[in-house]
Amino acid sequence: MKNLSVTFVLLVAFILIGIPPIIRAQSSPVMYFCERYDHDQGEVGISDRFTKGYLTVMVKADKPLGLKNVFVEFDKYNWYSHKFEFYKKFNYTIDPDMKYVFFAKNEDSDLKFEEAGFYRVFLLNDASETVASALIEIIDSN
């Protein structure tokens, strides 16, 4: 019985040694939100809960994203069907060398949340594959 215990301890030790030393909850790139991006101040009002209106979507990566044509898509949670449903999608062009980028209101994309609720927000490449995603809650202002 003692030999079995020693063997078990050694087996567990070998398994733990084989696990990579860096384990991350979310790998790069990451997406988050702010009220606006200011070139002097940087990100203003970072949160995951906002009142209805315009927001800025931030994406930060360890290495260049390697993307040119991207989309920011909003899917809104439907409490009746218990599913996220398409809400809006906006097209952007970025520099492939970028590893820190913000998406804000422009002539073609308003990035406005008009209804309260929970949203999944995606950064998609030109093949509609997910590059980064995050959840956000939009509330009514009082």
Domains and CATH numbers, the chain: 26-139 (2.60.40.1930)
Predicted pLDDT at 109: 82
Tell me which amino acid residue 13 is: A
The pTM of this model reads: 0.77
Closest to 123 in 3D by CA, of 44, 39, 59: 59
Residue 3: predicted pLDDT: 53
Residue 26 pLDDT class (50, 70, 90 cuts): low
Q: Indicate whether 47 pLDDT > 80.
A: yes
Given a cut of 50, is residue 80 above it in pLDDT? yes
d(CA 60, CA 135): 16
**How would you classify the pairing of strands 56-60 and 100-103?**
antiparallel
% of the chain exceeding 90 in pLDDT: 70
Q: What is the pLDDT of residues 100-136, one digit of tens each?
A: 999 998 887 888 999 999 999 999 999 999 999 999 9
Which residue matches tokens 């927001």?
Answer: 55
User: Is pLDDT of 4 > 70?
Assistant: no
pLDDT at 107 (0 to 100): 82
Contact 68, 96 (CB under 8 A): yes
What is the residue-wise DSSP string for 89-137? EEEEE--TT-SEEEE---SS---EE-S-EEEEEEEE-TT--EEEEEEEE
